[in-house]
Amino acid sequence: MILLGVFLWLFLHKTYKDEQEALRRETNLLFVNAVRGIESRLFDKLVVRRWDTQQGDTAVSISLRLPAPPHPQPAKDSARVFAIVQEKAFVTHDIQELRGEKVQDMKIMLNKEPEPDQEEISGTLSIFVGVDSTGVPLRESGSAPVRPTLERFFNEAMQSAALPVQWRMASLNDSIPEGAFVAGQYTDVVNGERLRAVISEFNGYLLRKMAPQIAFSLLLFASVALAFLFVYQSLRKQMRLTEIKNEFIRNMTHELKTPISTVSVAIEALQNFDALQNPERTQEYLAISQLELNRLSLLVDKVLRMSLFEQGEPELKTEPIDFLALVEEVLTAMKLQFEKYRAEVKLSVSGQHFNLLGDRLHLVSVLYNLLENALKYSLESPKIEVRLAQSCGQLTLKVKDQGRGIPAAYLDRIFDKFFRVPTGDVHDVKGHGLGLNYVAGVVRLHQGHIEVNSQVGVGTEFTVRFPGGAE
């Protein structure tokens, strides 16, 4: 993105410079045309009589010899007029026809097309401006300031071109504002006056001309940025999925190894330590093996059920259920686990009717998950409160523990598949990150809602609401 930004910046910078150069060339052409326009207009006013002869592509007007300029410079454009007049002998047949004429008021002019790229030009405008303003014959008039006339003509040219920029006529010694440029420079060979047109405050005009390029650059950058963001987010999701998968594998490994190891020890004891001779010990080992195998079965069952959710929401086998009786049944089935953890479980009931339509198997799994989490994440001698209430056509189940709690940063993610609150490689609590995701899915299928409130070091409370409770 940085390289793209740099490339687009260079592209726009070059475009800006090209537009600025085009503006400079256009204003320079206007400046040259303004000078030539003054020459042409004033020369035509001063010519009394003209003889035009064709010598190649140059039209020559012949007139009387003029005084030499006080500031001699190489003959160029209108300055060439004086050089020719001083050196040329008028002996042609055209001059012979001037006998008896007042040719002292005439001039010589070489017509020449303006050169747009010519930044500095010279001429004799001061003499002709003086003649035009005073009416004195050319040979006696001397010179006059060129600046007012040149400013007027250049202003007319700029207005005709409708260029929304600021400009001023400055002398050669005047400073140029930062960011401005010189459109053209004129040097008068008679009085030595040197003027130049300074163009400024043209950024807005250039930016408006560059609007298509700017829009294209912004669109390109935004498109690539969105594509990059999409790819980056996809990559982050893939990395997160990889992290969750690795965490799941580690947790699942611990979850599977424990019952397998327990059953293996029990079988080894039965085989090698004469446990079969002791019926009570045999029953104890078999009961342990059965419990651990049940744990494995539940684990596999959870994974299979999550697979069903992955393929699509499973079809519920709904039937009328007494939810209070179902809660009491699950609490009775988990009595041995409560005794193992030395847990104190309290059930409180508010309301009279706890009927709902639901899938008995999935609802039992929801209750098991919530109660097992309360046991696993509680400290020594867990205290668990189960509250069941019915009011206004709604059943509310709350399972509250006094365990370690969940940090606020993870509350909105605990129902995500495979998510567990990060603990590094410490696995003091067994789990696989599927339970709460499964619970949320079952509650949603029953048109219910689940929420969690938790505080680190205080405990966690899950609240599940189902529609139901009608008599």
| pLDDT for 113 beyond 50 | no
Give per-residue pLDDT as tens, 133-184.
Answer: 655 444 444 567 888 888 999 999 999 999 899 999 988 888 888 889 998 8
Can you list the alpha helix ranges (DSSP code H) found in 312-359?
323-333, 335-340
**Do 306 and 321 share a structural domain?**
no
Give residue 43's pLDDT band: very low, low, confident or very high (50, 70, 90).
Answer: low
Domain span at 134: 2-209
Q: 305 phi and psi, to 5 degrees?
A: -65, -40
**Do 26 and 122 share a structural domain?**
yes
**Do 302 and 277 share a structural domain?**
yes
CA–CA gap between residue 179 and residue 349 (Å, rounded): 82
Q: Which residues contact 3 (CB under 8 A, 6 or more apart)?
A: none
Burial of 371 (0-12, 13-18, 19+ CB in 10 A): buried
**Do 320 and 248 share a structural domain?**
no
Q: What is the pLDDT of residue 393?
A: 83
Give residue 431's pLDDT band: very low, low, confident or very high (50, 70, 90).
Answer: low
Q: What is the pLDDT of residue 307?
A: 63
**Do 279 and 418 share a structural domain?**
no
Give residue 430's pLDDT band: very low, low, confident or very high (50, 70, 90).
Answer: low
Quote the percentage of the chain above a pLDDT of 90. 26
Give residue 233's pLDDT band: very low, low, confident or very high (50, 70, 90).
Answer: very high
**Do 457 and 325 share a structural domain?**
yes
Would residue 222 count as lying in a domain? no
State the average pLDDT over residues 5-31: 93
Give residue 103's pLDDT band: very low, low, confident or very high (50, 70, 90).
Answer: very low
Give per-residue pLDDT as tens, 313-356.
Answer: 667 788 999 999 999 988 887 776 788 788 899 999 998 889 99
| pLDDT for 118 beyond 70 | no
**Do 16 and 106 share a structural domain?**
yes
Would residue 216 count as lying in a domain? no
Give residue 453's pLDDT band: very low, low, confident or very high (50, 70, 90).
Answer: very high
Among 283, 312, 341, identify where a domain stops.
Answer: 312
Q: What is the pLDDT of residue 105?
A: 36
Please report, for the domain that includes residue 376, its CATH number: 3.30.565.10
pTM above 0.85, yes or no: no
**Do 169 and 63 share a structural domain?**
yes
Give residue 229's pLDDT band: very low, low, confident or very high (50, 70, 90).
Answer: very high
Q: What is the pLDDT of residue 429?
A: 55
**Do 272 and 124 share a structural domain?**
no
| pLDDT for 91 beyond 50 | no
Quote the percentage of the chain above a pLDDT of 70. 72
**Do 294 and 319 share a structural domain?**
no
Q: Count how many residues are written for the chain.
A: 471
Give residue 306's pLDDT band: very low, low, confident or very high (50, 70, 90).
Answer: low
Would residue 214 count as lying in a domain? no
**Do 321 and 426 share a structural domain?**
yes
**Do 150 and 290 share a structural domain?**
no
Please report, for the domain that includes residue 288, its CATH number: 1.10.287.130
Would residue 220 count as lying in a domain? no
Q: Residue 170's beta-bridge partner residues?
A: 196
CA–CA gap between residue 75 and residue 57 (Å, rounded): 19
Count CB atoms within 10 A of the CB of residue 136.
Answer: 11
Among 266, 287, 312, identify where a domain stops.
Answer: 312
State the DSSP code for 404.
Answer: S
Residue scoring higher pLDDT (14 or 79): 14
* Helix 147-161 × helix 2-46 angle, to 10°: 130
Among 268, 286, 312, identify where a domain stops.
Answer: 312
State the average pLDDT over residues 202-223: 93
Give the chain's domain count: 3
Would residue 390 count as lying in a domain? yes
